[in-house]
């Protein structure tokens, strides 16, 4: 069960990012003043073949799923180095270089017992992804006053990932990007 999952379009059996993420609707969910915006774009139906642009509109990452090998998606940095790999079959598996050893996605992005959020463990620290004010937001679980560190929104032709400078300095950018790809892929991650 993916609490953000609404992949099936009305009358269609094909997955789509449209409807998968909430659209920004609340003025209270304004971009944090210190957030860097990364835009996933240049895709047709899913983010699994897309380009990620940084705040300066430079290519920062590429998400590549070869037609000859649709069961595997690779995320590359701007130098063409693979930073993550997702194997979709038989069960989704993810590996993020230097951050997460190869493991099932359902273990890396665990659905909480209340089924209202997903918990991600990065270097022994737990972060939650949960719907908030029209976004899917990431925050540190153990914090007494959770602060949004990253958030994801669906736009008409793109997916937007806002990441705070604090999260970037903590080395969370690539984990947040991979989580975004997984949550917007249209694939079952459980």
Q: pLDDT tens digits, residue range 100-152?
A: 999 999 999 999 999 999 999 999 999 999 999 889 999 999 878 889 999 99
**Is residue 84 a part of any domain in this protein?**
yes
Domain membership of residue 23 (yes or no) is no
Range of the domain at 94: 35-184
**What is the domain-level CATH number for residue 166?**
2.40.160
Beta-strand runs (E) in 65-188: 72-77, 82-87, 93-96, 100-104, 109-111, 118-122, 125-132, 135-140, 148-155, 158-164
Q: How many structural domains comprise the chain?
A: 1
User: Has residue 11 been placed in a domain?
Assistant: no
| Top-confidence residue, 27 or 93 | 93
């Amino acid at each position: 069960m993916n609490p953000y999952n609404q992949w099936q379009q009305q009358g269609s059996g094909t997955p789509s990012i449209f409807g998968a993420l909430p659209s920004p609707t609340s003025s209270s969910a304004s971009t944090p003043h210190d957030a860097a915006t990364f835009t996933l774009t240049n895709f047709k139906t899913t983010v699994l073949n897309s380009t990620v642009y940084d705040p300066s509109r430079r290519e920062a990452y590429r998400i590549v799923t070869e037609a000859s090998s649709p069961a595997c998606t690779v995320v590359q940095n701007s130098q063409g180095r693979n930073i993550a790999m997702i194997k979709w079959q038989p069960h989704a598996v993810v590996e993020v270089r230097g951050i997460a050893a190869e493991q099932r996605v359902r273990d890396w992005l665990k659905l909480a017992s209340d089924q209202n959020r997903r918990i991600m463990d990065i270097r022994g620290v737990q972060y939650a992804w949960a719907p908030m004010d029209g976004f899917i937001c990431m925050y540190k679980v153990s914090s007494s006053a959770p602060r949004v560190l990253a958030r994801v929104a669906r736009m008409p032709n793109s997916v937007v990932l806002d990441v705070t400078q604090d999260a970037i300095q903590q080395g969370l950018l690539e984990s947040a990007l991979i989580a975004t790809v997984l949550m917007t892929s249209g694939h079952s991650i459980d």
